[in-house]
Each structure stands twice: as C-alpha cells, then as structure tokens.
Amino acid sequence: MYMTYLKKILFLALLCSFTTIFIACDDDEEVVVETTLYDKLGGTKLVADPANPGTMIESGRLGLRSVVDSTIFVIVGEGKILQYFTPLLTEVGAGNTTGLARLSKNLTDFFCVGTGAKNFAYGGLNMKDAHDPAKNNRMALKVNNADMDIVIQSVVKGAQQHNVPADLIGEGGKVREARRAEGVQR
C-alpha cells in the first residue's frame, strides 16, 4: 500500500514537472504573426465604400482601389504611354466605361492578392499574357522597360495622392519590380 501511494505521488510529481516544462516551453516560444503589406495598407477592417453607398469594403481593398484609379488618371493625364491603351480609350471616348471598370477591378484584385489579402482572388490573365497583344486584345503594344518605368512612376504618384507612406510605396514597388520581366516583352 505504501508503494502504491508512493507511485501515485511520483506519478503526480512527474505530471507536474512535464506540465511545467510544457508551459515554460510554450511561454518561451515567440509567436510570429506575419503582417502583410495588405494589412499595413488597411487590412480587413470594414469601412463604408464611398463608391457604393450602403456597402462596406475592406480598408486595404479601398486603399488599393483608390491608388489604382488614381494611377489610371495619372497615366491618362500625363499622356506618356497612352499608345498602350488605345482600345480602352476608344471605348471611353464613345461613352462605354465597362472596360475601364473591369481594368480597375482586375488591377485592384491583382494588387490585393499581391500584397497578401486573403479574401480576394485574381481571375485575370497572368502577367505575361496580360501584356501580350496577341493574347490580350486590350493591349495595343508590348511593353518596353522605359514605359514600364513610367507605369511604376504613375503608381507611385497615385499612391502619393492618397498619402501612402513612402516605406509602404517602397514595399509595393518591390512586389511590382519582382514581376517586371513578365510584363516587359520588348
């Protein structure tokens, strides 16, 4: 009987030791939560969508959509690379903004996914095909390096119009620059 009692105490002591070790190890582990660029741009917090009264939109998506739309206006306003957008400009000139809305949505989806958003998917063409007029009738010409630089500068200007901090613009530039070779085809 004394041995059974001793075994129970020993068992409880071992159990407490393992529990203490387990808890101590658990406390020592650093929990690393990855903060995505999307999170830094506003993330999943829902806010009122100014373009669609009565609906909510993720803050990160709203910010990216705003930058995309401003970028489109920068490109059109500066006129340096309009030759790539002839099909779109012809439609808009005729009062048809369907293609413009689709471009804004596709680019917003692309940037959302590229910056780490989890609630959206990009359903457009891959980068190479999207920039190849033979595979995308929305592109008038293949893009060269100099004109890709203008696109990137336009994105920076669009982001600056919405007071996106310079460090986040830099992070976004790294994401975009990593895909340059897919878009530049001449």
**How confident is the model over 50-84, as pLDDT tens digits?**
999 999 999 999 999 999 999 999 999 999 999 99
What residues contact residue 168 under an 8 Å CB cut-off, 6+ apart? 37, 40, 41, 159
Over the stretch 11-28, which tens digit does the pLDDT of each residue have?
A: 333 333 333 333 344 455
With 0-12 / 13-18 / 19 or more C-beta atoms within 10 angstroms meaning exposed / middle / buried, residue 26 is exposed
Over the stretch 126-165, which tens digit does the pLDDT of each residue have?
A: 888 999 999 998 888 999 999 999 999 999 999 999 999 9
Among the listed ranges 32-36, 145-149, 164-168, which one has the minimum average pLDDT value? 32-36
- Long-range Cβ contact pairs of 83-92 (< 8 A, separation 24 or more): 83/140, 83/141, 84/139, 84/140, 84/141, 84/143, 84/147, 85/140, 86/140, 87/137, 87/138, 87/139, 87/140, 88/138
Check: CB of residue 162 under 8 Å from CB of residue 149.
Answer: no
| % of the chain exceeding 70 in pLDDT | 82
| Beta strands at 46-48 and 56-58: parallel, antiparallel or unpaired | antiparallel
Output the pLDDT for position 173.
Answer: 82
What is the CB neighbour count within 10 angstroms for residue 151?
19
Check: CB of residue 154 under 8 Å from CB of residue 78.
Answer: yes
Check: CB of residue 75 under 8 Å from CB of residue 151.
Answer: yes
Query: Whole-number mean pLDDT of the chain?
Result: 83
Output the pLDDT for position 7.
Answer: 35
User: Can you give the pTM of this predicted structure?
Assistant: 0.78
- Long-range Cβ contact pairs of 142-146 (< 8 A, separation 24 or more): 142/185, 142/186, 143/84, 143/183, 143/184, 143/185, 143/186, 144/184, 144/186, 145/180, 145/184
